[in-house]
């Protein structure tokens, strides 16, 4: 959960600042906008589609496709941001050929456009990269999404080195929590189990570093406020690998379902990444560490879907 503001809290500096959040109707973007609003920031949110629900505390919204450079310029002119959280993404990790062009136009081109506009106006950019990115130059990206994220991080490093762009690369690991799109593994499994239906899964052997959404949001906020971290790269994860099978079995117990998960009903994706977050940089430079345990995070997530199973949103990233 978000820590309370104190005089020594670096997040207190968010109050009154002009913040632009791209991909704001997505899972992580929605949580981030709420956290920024709670801190008193002046939030300008942008997404390809406007939100389906609004309230009195909603941020200022713009519907825009950031694949166009002139559109991005107009968004920045209206928001006049001091900080940009760039989260927009096609958001599909499938290796299928049909996702190559959507990830190019939905992930990489918007990233370059946002970095260019932020450089021109002097805003700090907090870029959401991905654990799926290869960590060596000869490694093969496991999907078009991973390739686009990998290239986006490369552009961010170039912008920092050549143009002094104030960019911070964050790398959220397998983020989960309330409000995630229902086609993702954890919500899909929870919703199936709550209906007493067997979730159809791969083998479940993949080892994953899971991290609760509130912890990731806290890391993003610190990346926006801590001084002297521009050019840094920070993994946001738990530092511990737990298999997909183990997580789903915990969900069976938490839901009390009698359905038996159908492991092996779906093929495993090729080249799936198994990597633990490197925690030292985030702890040393941001003062960040994950605080929500896997059991507690899964319990909170199950409780949310139990209450909202009829209206869980698809959203966008």
Per-residue pLDDT of the chain (317 residues; tens, 9 = 90+): 444 444 457 788 999 999 999 999 999 999 999 999 999 999 999 998 877 665 545 678 889 999 999 999 999 999 999 999 999 988 777 889 999 999 999 999 999 999 999 999 999 999 999 999 988 878 889 899 999 999 999 999 999 999 999 999 999 999 999 999 988 999 999 999 999 999 999 999 999 999 999 999 999 999 999 999 999 999 999 999 999 999 999 999 999 999 999 999 999 988 888 999 999 999 999 999 999 999 999 999 999 999 987 654 444 44
Q: Yes or no: say if 10 and 225 are a contact pair by the CB < 8 Å rule.
A: yes
5 part of a folded domain: no
Domain count, the chain: 1
- What range defines the domain where residue 240 resides? 10-308
The C-alpha angle with vertex 23 and arms to 243 and 293, in degrees rounded to 5, equals 30
205 part of a folded domain: yes
The whole-angstrom separation of Cα 217 and Cα 19 is: 14
pLDDT of residue 265: 96
103 part of a folded domain: yes
pLDDT of residue 198: 97
pLDDT of residue 89: 85
DSSP the chain: -PPPP-TT-GGGGGTT-EEEEESTTSHHHHHHHHHHHHTT-EEEEEESS--S---TTPPEEEE--TTSHHHHHHHHHHH--SEEEE----------GGGHHHHIIIIIHHHHHHHHHHHHHT-EEEEE--TTS-SSTTPPPSSHHHHHHHHHHHHHHHHHHHH---EEEEEE-EEE-TT--TTSHHHHHHHHHHTT-PPB---S--EE-EEEHHHHHHHHHHHHHSTT-TT-EEEES-S--EEHHHHHHHHHHHHT-----BTTSSPPPTT--------HHIIIII-----S-HHHHHHHHHHHHHHHTTS------
Q: Yes or no: say if 145 and 91 are a contact pair by the CB < 8 Å rule.
A: yes
208 part of a folded domain: yes
The whole-angstrom separation of Cα 238 and Cα 121 is: 35
241 part of a folded domain: yes
pLDDT of residue 5: 42
pLDDT of residue 203: 97
316 part of a folded domain: no
pLDDT of residue 314: 43
2 part of a folded domain: no
4 part of a folded domain: no
CATH code, domain carrying 230: 3.40.50.720
pTM of whole model > 0.85? yes
The whole-angstrom separation of Cα 315 and Cα 27 is: 7
Instruction: List all residues 6 or more positions away from 53 whose beta carbon is below 8 Å from its beta carbon.
Output: none
């Amino acid at each position: 959960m978000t820590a309370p503001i104190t005089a020594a809290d670096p997040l207190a500096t968010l109050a009154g600042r002009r913040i632009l959040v791209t991909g704001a109707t997505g899972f992580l973007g929605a949580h981030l906008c709420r956290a920024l609003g709670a801190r008193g920031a002046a939030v300008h949110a942008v997404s390809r589609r406007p939100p389906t629900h609004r309230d009195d505390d909603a941020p200022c919204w713009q519907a825009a496709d950031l694949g166009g450079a002139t559109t991005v310029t107009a968004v920045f002119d209206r928001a006049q941001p001091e900080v940009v959280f760039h989260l927009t993404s096609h958001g599909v990790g499938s290796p299928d050929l049909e996702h190559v062009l959507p990830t190019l136009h939905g992930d990489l081109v918007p990233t370059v456009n946002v970095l260019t506009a932020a450089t021109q106006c002097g805003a700090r950019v907090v870029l959401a990269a991905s654990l799926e990115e290869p960590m060596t130059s000869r490694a093969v990206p496991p999907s078009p999404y991973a390739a686009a994220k990998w290239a986006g991080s490369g552009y961010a490093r170039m912008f920092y080195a050549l143009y002094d762009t104030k960019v911070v690369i964050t790398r959220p690991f397998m983020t989960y929590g309330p409000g995630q799109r229902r086609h993702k593994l954890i919500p899909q499994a929870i919703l199936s189990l709550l209906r007493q239906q067997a979730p159809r899964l791969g083998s479940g052997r993949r080892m994953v570093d899971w991290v609760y959404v509130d912890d990731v949001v806290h890391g993003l906020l610190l990346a926006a406020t801590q001084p002297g971290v521009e050019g840094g790269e920070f993994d946001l994860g738990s530092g511990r690998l737990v298999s997909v099978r183990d997580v789903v079995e915990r969900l069976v117990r938490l839901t009390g379902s009698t359905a038996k998960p159908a492991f092996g009903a779906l093929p495993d994706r090729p080249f799936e990444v198994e990597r633990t977050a490197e925690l030292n940089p985030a702890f040393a430079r941001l003062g960040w560490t994950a605080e929500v345990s896997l059991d507690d995070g899964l319990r909170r997530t199950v409780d949310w879907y139990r209450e909202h199973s009829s209206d869980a949103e698809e959203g966008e990233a």
